[in-house]
Amino acid sequence: MLALAEGFSPSQVAKIFLLDADTVRRYFRLYKEGGINGLLEIHYEGRHSFLTDQQKEELKAHLRHNIYLEVKPIIEYVDQTFGVRYSVSGMTKLLHELRFEYKKPKLVPSKADPLPNKSG
């Protein structure tokens, strides 16, 4: 709001704060209509998940027993199993919500003993 009051255009403010110019205009309109309280009344909650809680539990059980190196095969599994199609970013967010994380596979030299002898 201060940048707009100083004469910056909504496009310039949007660029500075990595926002869309329409978003800056909407915030400014809310500010003009309701002051600071008008801005504080934004209650964005995001979109609800496409999967039910039971489907999420089934997916978690499946992921505990199956290793995937990429998100796309998980998207295919969910599409075939539950009839729900996710984008890559949507599935990534869901996996984070379910507390799964990506861990880059580690290389093991071909002649190395994966379980070294601890006795010496």
Encode pLDDT of 23-37 as tens digits: 889 888 888 888 888
Q: Is the pLDDT of residue 116 over 80?
A: no
Which DSSP string corresponds to 70-107? SSHHHHHHHHHHHS----HHHHHHHHHHTT----PPPP
Rounded to the nearest integer, the mean pLDDT of the chain is 85
> What total number of domains does the chain contain?
2
* Contact in structure between 38 and 30 (CB atoms under 8 Å): yes
On whether both 58 and 92 belong to a single domain, the answer is yes
On whether both 36 and 9 belong to a single domain, the answer is yes
In a domain, 109, yes or no: no
pLDDT per residue as tens digits for the range 49-94: 789 999 999 999 999 999 898 999 999 999 999 999 998 888 999 9
Write out the residue range of the structural domain in which residue 9 sits: 2-40
* Residue 45: per-residue pLDDT: 58
In a domain, 29, yes or no: yes
In terms of pLDDT, which residue wins out, 101 or 117?
101
In a domain, 33, yes or no: yes
In a domain, 45, yes or no: no
In a domain, 113, yes or no: no
